Chains A and B, each alone.
Chain A
């Protein structure tokens, strides 16, 4: 990933809220954002609040959308994405 790679920042909160680049979002609009990110060969930065606890249902939907879109993902345990790492 170079400094020009587009980054889509996704956050899932314990109460089921979803934000994309800091803006409240829905699965439908996320799908469109992922499509654009895929076209631009971008990457997803993904943060889930309280990652050690049971994920809200929307977290499953988000992951499935990322898989469907074939966009590389980096996982973070911090809301500022400062510890984003590839899966495993």
Chain B
């Protein structure tokens, strides 16, 4: 694993598990992930029984839908299918729930409760370029999401 990735994953682990304000920790995590892949926008979400809610983001601005039902959008698909959802061109995917008008590609990675197949959070990364996320990006973001798990457990 490249040193910069290894260092970032370590930073994500320590940030997620540190004390202090949870939203601030989540923002720092979003910033670390965004910087790692030079992504345009990264959001970190809570997944509850009925709704998905933004905890924090890094990028140009707040998402259009800070809270939405668990069944909606690509996030809803990731929760339902219990796997990462990657869409190269959201204009061709009816599941897409607009966060920014200029988004063309998106990846949503679920975060699972330890020892369970239950999704408790998601990491959402968006790009203004089509087909922006390679399998390497997916692997990287999945590693980041796994490293960030303490954020959802250490309240």
> A interface vs B, CB < 8 Å?
38, 43, 51, 54-55, 59-60, 63-64, 66-67, 69-73, 75, 86-88
Whether A71 contacts B48 by the Cβ 8 Å rule is no
> B interface vs A, CB < 8 Å?
13, 17-20, 46-48, 113-116, 118, 120-121, 149-150, 152-155
B106 to chain A, nearest CB (A): 22
Whether A73 contacts B19 by the Cβ 8 Å rule is no
Cα-based distance from A67 to B20 in the complex (angstroms)? 20
| Chain A residue with Cβ nearest B47 | A88
Contacts of A67 in B (CB 8 A): 114, 149-150, 153
Given contacts A66-B153, A87-B153, contact A72 B115 (CB under 8 A): yes
Whether B115 contacts A63 by the Cβ 8 Å rule is no
Cα-based distance from A66 to B115 in the complex (angstroms)? 9
| Chain A residue with Cβ nearest B116 | A72
Whether B154 contacts A70 by the Cβ 8 Å rule is no
Cα-based distance from A26 to B19 in the complex (angstroms)? 20
Contacts of A55 in B (CB 8 A): 19, 154
Contacts of B20 in A (CB 8 A): 54
Contacts of A88 in B (CB 8 A): 46-48, 113, 120-121, 152
Contacts of A43 in B (CB 8 A): 115
A52 to chain B, nearest CB (A): 8
A71 to chain B, nearest CB (A): 5
| Chain A residue with Cβ nearest B155 | A51
Contacts of A71 in B (CB 8 A): 114-115
A58 to chain B, nearest CB (A): 11
Cα-based distance from A71 to B113 in the complex (angstroms)? 9
Cα-based distance from A64 to B153 in the complex (angstroms)? 10
Cα-based distance from A38 to B114 in the complex (angstroms)? 11
Across the interface, B154 reaches (CB within 8 A) one of A38, A59, A69, A86, namely A59
Contacts of B116 in A (CB 8 A): 72, 86
Whether B120 contacts A63 by the Cβ 8 Å rule is no
Most A C-beta atoms less than 10 A away, residue of B115, B116, B149: B115
